[in-house]
Amino acid sequence: MTRKAMFDLVGQDLSGMTFLDIFSGSGAVGLEALSRGAEKATFIERDPKCLRVLEENLRLLGLYRTFSETGNYEIVPMDAFAGLKHLARARRGFDIIFLDPPYSRGLGKKTLKTLVECDIIHSTSLVIVEHSKRELLPQDLGGRFFIIRHRKYGISYLTVYQRQ
């Protein structure tokens, strides 16, 4: 339900866009972005079990090993913070950035701060955070991106940031 709501918020057609899925787990959200026309999806995930599931999902869709990092997906097998720094060093930028950190650990706020520091958000990017109601997120990201939507879906919330 939350994944459908997220794509309802950002639009159904992601043609030509780049998508970053942080704390990607099985990769379901990034894979959905590819199915909606995203040019490339980048997955950041460090858990070996999740990486195996992600690779299996790519295999089932006929994508695994079909494309390299220069193709339509990339796996960054690091924790979120090291992965963001890695992408910043590579001077990468993304149209849509989605993060769904584990609840009750305060990782949403910390990841947003790292995103701003790494400067991989460009002027037209959307940043979407899935989080619990207990996690209070900042109203803005570095004074440049502000909350434009905040919606509740079951026990989860989606908060969307965009440059104003």
Q: Which of 19, 11, 21 shows the shortest CA–CA distance to 99?
A: 21
Does 137 fall in a domain?
yes
Quick one: pLDDT at residue 106? 83
Q: What is the pTM of this model?
A: 0.91
Residue with tokens 């997906």: 73
Q: C-alpha angle with apex 144: 147 to 121, nearest 5 degrees?
A: 90
Give pLDDT, residue 9. Answer: 79
Residues paired with 43 in a beta bridge? 21, 75
Q: Is residue 153 part of a domain?
A: yes
Residue 49 placed within a domain: yes
* CA–CA distance, 32 with 20 (Å, rounded to integer): 12
Taking phi over 0 as left and psi of -120 to 50 as alpha, with beta for the rest, 65 belongs to: left
Structural domain contains residue 155: yes
Q: What is the pLDDT of residue 56?
A: 93
User: Residue 20 falls within a domain, yes or no?
Assistant: no
How many independent structural domains does the chain possess?
1
CB contact at 8 A, 84 and 20: no
Range of the domain at 154: 2-9+25-163
Query: Is the distance from CB of 153 to CB of 118 less than 8 angstroms?
Result: no
* Sheet strands (E) in the chain: 18-22, 40-44, 73-76, 94-99, 121-132, 140-141, 145-153, 156-163
The tens-digit pLDDT sequence of the chain (164 residues) is 677 778 887 777 899 999 999 999 999 999 999 999 999 999 999 999 999 999 999 888 877 654 445 568 999 999 999 999 999 999 999 999 999 999 878 899 999 999 999 989 988 999 999 999 888 899 998 888 999 999 888 888 999 999 87
Q: Give the pLDDT confidence score for residue 67 in this predicted structure.
A: 46
Based on its alpha-carbon atoms, the radius of gyration of the chain, rounded to whole angstroms, reads: 15
The CATH number of the domain holding residue 59 is: 3.40.50.150
**For residue 7, what pLDDT is reported?**
87
Select from 1, 66, 61, 68 the least CA-distant residue to 26. Answer: 61
41 inside domain: yes
Give domain status of residue 51, yes or no. yes
Residue 16 forms part of a structural domain: no
**Which amino acid is present at 106?**
G
| Structure confidence at residue 84 (pLDDT) | 97
**Chain CA centroid to CA 92, Å:** 14
